[in-house]
Amino acid sequence: MADVILKGSREKSLTRHHPWVFSGAVDTVRGKPGRGETVDILSPDGRWLARGAYSPESQIRVRVWTFDPEEEVSAGFFGLRLSRSIESRRAIGIEQAADAFRLVNSESDGLPGLIVDRYDRFLVCQFLTAGAERWKDAVVSWLERLTACTGIYERSDADVRAKEGLPPSVGRLSGEEPPEVIEIHEHGCRYLVDVRHGHKTGFYLDQRDNRACLARYASGRDVLNCFSYTGGFSIAALKGGASHAVNVDSSGSALGLAARNVLINGFDPGSVENIEADVFTLLRRFRDSRRSFDLIVLDPPKFAESKGQIMRASRGYKDINLLALKILKPGGILFTFSCSGLIERDLFQKIVSDAALDAGREASIIHWLTQSSDHPVSLNFPEASYLKGLVCLVK
């Protein structure tokens, strides 16, 4: 096994069990580890620190598998980690609320680069790093044994794989090919999910608890759901008694699935309007035409992919929040989110506060929201906390 030896004083994060070693922290590499191979990480004085997966093309040069010197990284290692991750979901009772949820959440479950989402009887996996890719066969084999799933499908088509020197990879890994759409159930709502072509692994599972929260405020309200995708928040709103909902998204195919979701839940098709449009443009049109709403959801895609994009992203978040606040009725509710991990919670609150000030509105935070409980955040890996949301009562 090759060794990665760190520069002086660069071992501090590892002693606190943070699982990343950046390229700038590496002094020398003893041996010639290949992409995804297991290496030992040593301090400058030769002390053993951790064992992880080597990625020669990534800025994150090593991702830690274990901080236990006695723990061997083998096929059995992945069986133990997967078993523990699956059991933790049972422990929090997630199966009582939904039949679609995250089984493995990468670093926070001790498996860097591996995402496993369950959709009814199917699993959808993302192998996003060199180490996860190297152990793909072992992971699939263990998932077959531990879950008794009908099929396992891969959606390793995220941009982050390019940083690892890996091409996109999509397709069936085991068992049956998933159907065109899979029906899932969540808090009494039904959703059709396209795991083969949809966003992420098919659905925004991280918003499950927040959809349930929105349902509690929806009764009798006219709802605008921006960046709606397949209408998850709108279905939850209608379930909660909303009088009407408008879905806005740039994808016609996503809106097509949103319309089908209305039908399978037994709602009146006339209670939902689906608009294929750019959200920024449409919000300005609503402002100019004086169309207003009782409840508005802003759930945009990630605006900041790097630190250099934080300022531009902040302007984007302020723009959509300013426009939304201008068309929200007095006494209305704003659900506003950022999934950009680089936009910290305090900064997001300041952005929304500045937008309210410029819109001439007074608003109070009545809830802070985050990702659902099946997307845990390791105490030693705060980067796993990416989704942040505010529920604001607007005067």
Lookup result for tokens 């992409």: 35
Which conformational region is residue 355 in: left (phi greater than 0), alpha (psi within -120 to 50 degrees), or beta? alpha
CA distance 118 to 173: 14
CA distance 20 to 72: 19
CA distance 101 to 136: 21
CA distance 28 to 7: 8
- Catalytic residue status for 149: no
Lookup result for tokens 């608890």: 209
Of 125, 149, 339, 392, the active-site residue reads 339
Two tokens, residue 248: 């806005």
Tally the residues of the chain. 395
Neighbours of 299 (CB within 10 A): 21
In a 3-state reduction of DSSP, which class is residue 65?
A: strand
CA distance 4 to 27: 8
Two tokens, residue 63: 């991702």
**Nearest alpha-carbon partner for 198 in 86, 122, 280, 263:** 122
Beta strand pairing status for 272-276 and 244-249?
parallel
CA distances from 55 to 41, 43, 105, 306 (A): 13, 19, 20, 20
Active site members: 339
